[in-house]
Amino acid sequence: MAKKTPEVNASSMADIAFLLLIFFLVSTTMNVDSGIMRVLPPMPEEEQEEVEDLVHKRNVLLVFISANDEIMVGGERMEIYDITNKVKEFVMNPNNDPHLPEREEKEIDILGTYPVSKGIVSLQNDRGTSYEMYVKVQNELTRAFNELRDALSQEKFGKKFKDLETNTKKAVSEAIPLKISEAEPRDVTKGGK
Q: What is the pLDDT of residue 108?
A: 87
Q: What is the pLDDT of residue 77?
A: 94
Q: Which residues of the chain have pLDDT under 70?
A: 1, 32-55, 188-193
Q: Which of 147, 134, 133 is closest to 91 using CA atoms? A: 147
pLDDT digits (tens, 9 = 90+) for 128-164: 888 899 989 999 999 999 999 999 999 999 989 989 8
Q: What is the pLDDT of residue 55?
A: 58
Backbone CA torsion sign across 147, 153, 156, 157: negative
Q: What is the pLDDT of residue 14?
A: 84
Specify whether the CB–CB gap between 144 and 87 falls below 8 A: yes
Secondary structure element (H or E) that encloses residue 117, with its range: strand 112-117
- The neighbour count for residue 90, using CB atoms within 10 Å, is 24
- The neighbour count for residue 91, using CB atoms within 10 Å, is 25
Q: What is the pLDDT of residue 193?
A: 46
| Number of residues that make up the chain | 193
Q: What is the pLDDT of residue 37?
A: 61
Q: What is the pLDDT of residue 151?
A: 93
Q: What is the pLDDT of residue 58?
A: 83
What are the two backbone dihedrals, phi and then psi, of residue 168, each rounded to the nearest 5 degrees? -70, -40
pTM (whole model) above 0.85:
no
Q: What is the pLDDT of residue 148?
A: 92
